[in-house]
């Protein structure tokens, strides 16, 4: 079931269900896009019809962030669980490690994807990383070719939103991969460059607060959250 939150239709799934769905998609002809929108991305989609169309066509749209959960609740159509992109990615890799499925990492500054590959292979023994590429390239074609030549099944595309979803929409077919997941800054976390909040913060849905304390410059981005929740309340009152 999909739940509309201010124009973006989210899959009402738990983390385990999301991983099961992704594993099924890996067995079907692709390509399939998995998106993990947070409130900022939903607001972005409201201003960018092309981006909204791409999200509407995604195979799996996961609620990344407690703000989406609050908005769904305010709208009177609650989502069962928050499924952060990075948790989804880790849980998926737990399942595919040792199966022969091949992962390609695309994005972030030069060197980061390789570092992430090494760390992911340690944390997920048996994981087959078939290639990496940084996220600062000029032409799409050679990157899509590199993914095809690496015979990737899964690609983590980490260019930030909406760039990564637009890149996937334009290039997924050329890569030959079945599952392409837009994961924002996750490679920086997997590489150990950016720390995730302690588990206690994650459990309470306060990861955003921890990130804000570490990176006060994010305040501008986060200030949009109250506006997002107000829009949800407004939509509810209008009976949308
Ligand atoms: N990035 C990239 N190519 C670009 C722009 C950004 O590879 O042209 C990377 C950037 O290095 C970072 C990630 O994309 O690793 C974006 O992280 P951010 O936290 O801004 O994304 P979000 O998770 O908020 O979408």
* Domain boundaries, given as residue ranges, for the chain: 2-237
pLDDT at 221 over 80: no
Q: Does the pLDDT value for residue 121 go beyond 90?
A: yes
pLDDT of 240 > 80? The answer is: no
Indicate the average pLDDT of the chain: 94
Mean pLDDT over 154-179 rounds to 98
> What's the whole-number mean pLDDT along residues 177-197?
94
The arithmetic mean of pLDDT across residues 18-36, rounded, is: 97
Q: Rounded mean pLDDT of 102-109? A: 98
Task: List pLDDT tens digits, range 66-82.
Answer: 899 999 999 999 999 99
What is the average per-residue pLDDT within 32-46? 96
Mutate to test the pocket of ligand 1, among 143, 184, 197, 215 (most ligand atoms within 8 A of CB): 184
List the single range of 43-57, 154-168, 210-224 with lowest mean pLDDT.
Answer: 210-224
User: How large is the average pLDDT for residues 128-144?
Assistant: 98
Is 70 exceeded by the pLDDT of residue 129? Answer: yes
Q: How confident is the model at residue 65 (pLDDT cuts 50, 70, 90)?
A: confident
179 C-alpha vs ligand 1 centroid, how far in Å? 19
Closest residue to atom 18 of ligand 1, CA basis? 185
Q: What is the pLDDT of residue 209?
A: 84
Ligand 1 site, CB within 6 A: 107-109, 135-136, 158-161, 163, 184-185, 187-188
32-60 average pLDDT score = 97
Average pLDDT over residues 213-237: 85
More confident residue, 220 or 7: 7
Class in CATH terms, 2-237: alpha beta
Residue 26, token pair as written in the block: 């890996």
Cα 67 to middle of ligand 1, angstroms: 20
Is the model more confident about 216 or about 137? 137
């Amino acid at each position: 079931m999909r739940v509309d939150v201010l124009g973006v239709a989210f899959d009402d799934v738990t983390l385990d269900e999301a991983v099961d769905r992704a594993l099924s998609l890996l067995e079907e002809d692709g390509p399939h896009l998995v998106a993990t929108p947070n409130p900022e991305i939903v607001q972005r989609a409201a201003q960018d019809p092309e981006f909204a169309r791409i999200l509407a066509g995604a195979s799996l749209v996961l609620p990344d962030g407690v703000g989406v959960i609050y908005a769904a609740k305010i709208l009177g159509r609650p989502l069962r669980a928050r499924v952060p992109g990075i948790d989804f990615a880790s849980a998926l890799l737990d399942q595919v490690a040792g199966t022969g499925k091949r992962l390609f990492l695309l994005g972030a500054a030069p060197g980061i994807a390789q570092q992430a590959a090494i760390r992911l292979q340690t944390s997920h023994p048996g994981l087959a990383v078939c290639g990496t590429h940084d996220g600062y390239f000029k032409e799409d074609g050679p990157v899509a070719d590199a993914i095809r030549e690496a015979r990737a099944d899964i690609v983590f595309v980490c260019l930030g939103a909406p760039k990564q979803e637009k890149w996937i929409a334009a290039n997924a077919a050329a890569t030959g991969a079945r599952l392409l997941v837009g994961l924002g800054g996750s490679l920086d976390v997997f590489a150990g460059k950016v720390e995730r909040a302690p588990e206690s913060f994650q459990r309470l849905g306060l990861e955003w607060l921890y990130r804000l304390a570490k990176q006060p410059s994010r305040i501008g981005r986060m200030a949009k959250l109250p506006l997002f929740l107000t829009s949800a309340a407004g939509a509810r009152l209008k009976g949308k």
